[in-house]
C-alpha cells in the first residue's frame, strides 16, 4: 500500500455493492444488514447526501455517508478496511465532509456509534467530536448507541493590520 495510490472520490452507483458489503462486515456485524446495496444506491442518488469512496486504485477500501440537513449534518456511516486503517483515510474523509458541510451552511455534525466501540469513540474524539449522550437500545432495539457531535463553525478573527481599511 502506497499513499500515492489512495484516493478519495464521490461514490457512483457502481460502488453501492462494495460499500454495502463493507457496512455489513465492518459496522453492522451482529445487527443484520440495513445498509443494503439498494439503500446505499438511494443515498448516492440523494442530493442531500454525500457518499465518498476511498480507493486503492480501483478498489473501494473505505467509505463515508453523510446526510445534510438545514443546519446539521448526520454522519451515517464511515468505515475503512482494517488493512488500510491508520493511513489517514478516515480523517481525510471526515475533513472532506466537514468542508462540504461548511459550504452548505451546516453548523454541527452528529453521529451515533455502538456504545462499546472504544476504537471508534477514540477516533472521533481525536477529530474533535464530543459525547452528546447515550441512546438506549438504538440498534435494532438491542444495543445502546453513543451519540457524538462536533461544532464545525469557524470563527473569523479581526482583519490583519496589513489589509486595506475598506476590507476590515
Quick: pLDDT tens for 42-83: 999 999 999 999 999 999 999 999 999 989 999 999 999 999
User: What is the model's pTM?
Assistant: 0.86
- Compute the distance between CA of residue 76 and CA of residue 46 in angstroms, rounded to an integer: 14
Alpha helices in 55-147 (DSSP H): 89-103, 118-126
Q: Which of 2-6, 108-112, 163-167 has the lowest mean pLDDT?
A: 163-167
Any idea what the Cα angle at residue 129 is, between residues 126 and 132, rounded to 5°?
Answer: 140
- Compute the distance between CA of residue 66 and CA of residue 11 in angstroms, rounded to an integer: 12
- Compute the distance between CA of residue 137 and CA of residue 103 in angstroms, rounded to an integer: 34
> Would you place residue 141 in the very low, low, confident or very high pLDDT band (cuts 50, 70, 90)?
confident
- Compute the distance between CA of residue 10 and CA of residue 141 in angstroms, rounded to an integer: 32
* Cross-strand pairs, 54: 8, 62
**What pLDDT was estimated at residue 158?**
56
> Would you place residue 90 in the very low, low, confident or very high pLDDT band (cuts 50, 70, 90)?
very high
> Would you place residue 131 in the very low, low, confident or very high pLDDT band (cuts 50, 70, 90)?
very high
- Compute the distance between CA of residue 147 and CA of residue 21 in angstroms, rounded to an integer: 24
- Compute the distance between CA of residue 27 and CA of residue 77 in angstroms, rounded to an integer: 8
Any idea what the Cα angle at residue 45 is, between residues 86 and 93, rounded to 5°?
Answer: 15
Residues 6+ away with beta carbon under 8 Å from 88: 3
> What CATH number does the domain located at 3-108 have?
3.40.630.30
Instruction: Tell me the residue length of the chain.
Output: 168
User: Domain residues of the chain, as ranges?
Assistant: 3-108
Amino acid at each position: 500500500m502506497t499513499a500515492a495510490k489512495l484516493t478519495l472520490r464521490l461514490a457512483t452507483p457502481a460502488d453501492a455493492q462494495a460499500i454495502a458489503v463493507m457496512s455489513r462486515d465492518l459496522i453492522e456485524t451482529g445487527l443484520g444488514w440495513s445498509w443494503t446495496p439498494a439503500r446505499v444506491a438511494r443515498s448516492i442518488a440523494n442530493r442531500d447526501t454525500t457518499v465518498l469512496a476511498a480507493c486503492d486504485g480501483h478498489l473501494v477500501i473505505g467509505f463515508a455517508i453523510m446526510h445534510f440537513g438545514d443546519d446539521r449534518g448526520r454522519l451515517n456511516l464511515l468505515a475503512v478496511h482494517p488493512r488500510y486503517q491508520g493511513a489517514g483515510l478516515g480523517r481525510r474523509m471526515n475533513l472532506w465532509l466537514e468542508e462540504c458541510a461548511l459550504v452548505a451552511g451546516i453548523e454541527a455534525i452528529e453521529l451515533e456509534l455502538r456504545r462499546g466501540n472504544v476504537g471508534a469513540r477514540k477516533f472521533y474524539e481525536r477529530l474533535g467530536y464530543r459525547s452528546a449522550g447515550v441512546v438506549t437500545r438504538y440498534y435494532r432495539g438491542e444495543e445502546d448507541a453513543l451519540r457524538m457531535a462536533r461544532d464545525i463553525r469557524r470563527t473569523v478573527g479581526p482583519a490583519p493590520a496589513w489589509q486595506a481599511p475598506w476590507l476590515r
